[in-house]
Amino acid sequence: MASPVLTRLSTLDRYLPLWIFASMALGLGLGRAWPGLGAALDAVQVAGVSVPIAIGLLWMMYPVLAKVRYESIGRHAADTKLLGTSLFFNWVLGPLVMFALAWLFLPDLPEYRNGLILIGLARCIAMVLIWNTLACGSNEIAAVLVALNSVFQILTYSLLGYLFLVTVPGWMGAETAALDISMGDIAKSVGIFLGVPLFAGWYTRRSLVKRRGEAWYEGTFLPRIGPTALIGLLYTIVLMFAMQGNRIIETPWDVARVAVPLTLYFLVMFGLAFWSAKRLGFDYPTTASLSFTAAGNNFELAIAVAIGTFGITSGEALAAVVGPLIEVPVLVALVYVSLWAQRRYFPESVSASSGA
């Protein structure tokens, strides 16, 4: 009998919402104890981001990107139906769904709305590998789709960010004065906080696999550096809440309102992707991989771009932090949904896995 999903998560991943809440509380306490902490953190900046914050942003991105199997893209390049379906859900439908939900639920809160849109544009490249494995998806296909998303984020994130934050709202006649940003602002943040760790992750994988072998890299190196990404995320959250804790305490209802469209987003994207993959004739492992890559998001990148573009005390940054707080429990629930759907709609795959 298979172990319950939660027991198959590491202790760090299983209690991620708890660690995030603890980091928020620690940050609030630090901000209360040292009111001048924010000014001290902002004293030295890189690309408009304080150096201590920049260290955290790069720290949480690098281990994630060192896990990506970039070489796997070529092995499935000829599978146009698979790659085309993934690209449609990740880079067309996903941003549109999040944009619609953000405007529907947060028409009067532009900063939080922008933060949600940044999350919708940041396609999943990290935690999806965990959810996919727990749901008995194809690890190889998930690796391919994650690698594809990594490349597309470098190529399209700044363009889509400007499109959905400035251009489309302008077409709708909405007020865009608060969005006094340029495509260059977004591109700079993406280039620094995704481009630098992406290159470092790719180079690390390429050089160490060549020198020590893939078995050592996957079995020894990654387990050592992988958990440090969460430490980088929690470190960043502590500093963020130390700098804007009073605002959070004063507006708890606003944070709750951010959680509603986020939850709906994960459910809608997973449901549509799973249904579409089944209709297209994909087997269960492929269907699960497509569904979780469509539903998940790279909240590390969203946080980095929100801070780099709008500032650490912005509503955009706060909304981005709410992302992992909601994503983890919802995606764990969707793992159970996926396993139920496997038994209901793909009985042959259950029999095959049982006999393996």
Per-residue model confidence (pLDDT) at position 85:
94
CA-CA distance, 166 to 172, in Å (whole number)?
A: 10
Per-residue model confidence (pLDDT) at position 350:
67
Per-residue model confidence (pLDDT) at position 39:
72
Per-residue model confidence (pLDDT) at position 248:
63
- CA angle 341/122/267 to nearest 5° reads 30
Per-residue model confidence (pLDDT) at position 126:
65
Per-residue model confidence (pLDDT) at position 289:
93
Render 17-61 in DSSP notation, one character per residue: HHHHHHHHHHHHHHHHH-TTHHHHHTSSEETTEEHHHHHHHHHHH
Per-residue model confidence (pLDDT) at position 175:
59
CA-CA distance, 285 to 276, in Å (whole number)?
A: 14
Kindly state the tokens that stand for 168.
């489309």
pTM of the entire structure? 0.81
Residues of the chain with confidence (pLDDT) below 70: 1-10, 46-48, 73-78, 126, 174-183, 244-249, 350-356
Q: Quote the distance between the C-alpha of residue 244 and its chain's center.
A: 22
Is the distance from CB of 162 to CB of 152 less than 8 angstroms?
no
HEC string for 180-221: CCCHHHHHHHHHHHHHHHHHHHHHHHHHHHHHHCHHHHHHHH
- Delineate the domains of the chain, giving CATH numbers in brackets: 11-344 (1.20.1530.20)
Per-residue model confidence (pLDDT) at position 76:
60
Is the distance from CB of 282 to CB of 290 less than 8 angstroms?
yes
